[in-house]
Amino acid sequence: MGLLQALCQDPVRTMSIATQVGGAVFPKHQPLTKGYRNVLLFKIGAIGDVLMTTPLIRALRKHWPAATLTYATGTWSAPALEGNLYLDKVIPFDETDFFNRRADRVRAFYHAIRESRYDLCFVLDKTQYAGVICWRMKIPTRVGFDRDGEGYANTWNVAYGARRHETDYYLDLGTAVGAVPDGRHMEIFLQPSDYKELPRGYIVVCPGGADNPGQSMPGRRWPAERFGAVAAALNRPVVLLGGKKDMDAGRVVEEKVKAINLIGHTTLQESAAIMSKAALVLCNDSGPMHLAAAAGGNVLAVFGPTDPLRKAPVGSHWCWHEMENNEAEVYGKYTKAQNQNIKNVTVDEVVEMGRKIVE
């Protein structure tokens, strides 16, 4: 068996070799200074992950009131930052260019970033490839995460791995440059035009989600018929929200309960505004969960393979059958049993908690 074939069959060994080689090629930690004026935050995507970085954005703005803060992220997630008062600019890019290795388009993106001459970059993804991408942008100081050696391309790292909330990890990046956290709550900035007239006392049900460009996670989706059963038991007006990929799930819910089905018919901001006024937002561990929390909604989320102590929004409610999954959480790779865990959450459990929230 050749070396390349052996490495393909042993991804753990491949990762180890890559981090060892990277650690030898790239420079070691460099001291941070205080004079940063042109700062880039880079994250390939995932709406929930981007929203969990908003406390970091707020802390950086308070720390550097005169600096230029720019956020580059995929087009799927960029709307979550629309109107953010702490950012000077949001640069949306086609994240599928990276997933599908479109070399010409990726090089053009690098060139555009280099022209802005950023002096500091926050690398907000944990994977080693994100660090290499930001190195290719030729930004001299790159602050990011070190997940078992993967931070070799960064010039300053924060250790990642222990069971802590993702928001706190992002805030650690700000602490590295002296930024003091200004709360842990997420934010989304809405306009009056985002709000819609809906029946009094309605609840929102988001039966889908967990399906991002480059990453689909069916193990994080509770069966849609169970969402319908919970909504029927709560006996409130029901509004369905989600993206176009969630339409089938919405139809399953409608077999159980009469609903105002807005799936695929609202912008991200409109969805957030609807969630903010709901008596309850019932959802999976997905982008809509974070969106609802950022808008001030009353969230009840169903968790499966993921850990709410790492991912659930601050102040939210959840139903989860606890299991050991820290190693899986660190790398985002879950076993078949972990991906089946969400089915252990029963309708009765969610109804009981939902009633406590809305009554």
Compute the Cα dihedral for 326, 330, 335, 337 and give only its sign.
Answer: positive
Question: What confidence category does residue 162 fall into, taking pLDDT thresholds of 50, 70 and 90?
Answer: very high
Token pair belonging to 95: 């994240």
Same domain, yes or no: 267 and 162: no
> Average pLDDT, whole number, for the chain?
92
d(CA 162, CA 169): 10
* Tens digit of each residue's pLDDT (9 = 90 or more) over 208-235: 998 888 788 899 999 999 999 999 999 9
CB 191 within 8 A of CB 219: no
Does residue 213 sit in the same domain as residue 260?
Answer: yes
Q: Are 284 and 264 within 8 A, CB to CB?
A: no
Q: With bands split at pLDDT 50, 70 and 90, how would you rate the model's confidence at 64?
A: very high
Query: CA triplet 72, 290, 271: central angle to 5 degrees?
Result: 90
Please indicate, yes or no, whether residues 112 and 144 belong to a single structural domain of this protein.
yes
Of 183-187, 285-289, 327-331, least confident by mean pLDDT is: 327-331
Asked whether the predicted pLDDT for residue 320 surpasses 70, the reply is: yes
Q: Are 98 and 133 in contact (CB under 8 A)?
A: yes
pLDDT exceeds 70 at position 20: no
Identify whether residues 204 and 339 lie together within a single domain. yes
Question: Using one digit for the tens of pLDDT, what is the confidence trace for 86-103?
Answer: 999 999 999 999 988 899
- 156 and 231 belong to one structural domain: no
- One domain for residues 209 and 150: no
Distance CA 45, CA 287 (A): 11
State whether 213 and 323 are in the same domain: yes
Q: What stretches of the chain adopt beta strand conformation (E)?
A: 38-43, 68-74, 89-93, 120-123, 141-146, 156-159, 203-206, 211-212, 215-216, 238-240, 260-261, 280-284, 299-302, 317-319
By residue range, what is the domain housing residue 38? Answer: 14-176
177, 259, 331, 348 from 288: Cα distances, Å: 31, 18, 22, 23
pLDDT above 50: residue 17: no
Within-domain flag for 8? no
Number of domains forming the structure of the chain: 2
Distance of CA 299 to the CA centre of its chain: 16
Domain check: are 144 and 260 in the same one? no
Residue 94: CATH number of its domain: 3.40.50.2000
Together in a domain, 29 and 151:
yes
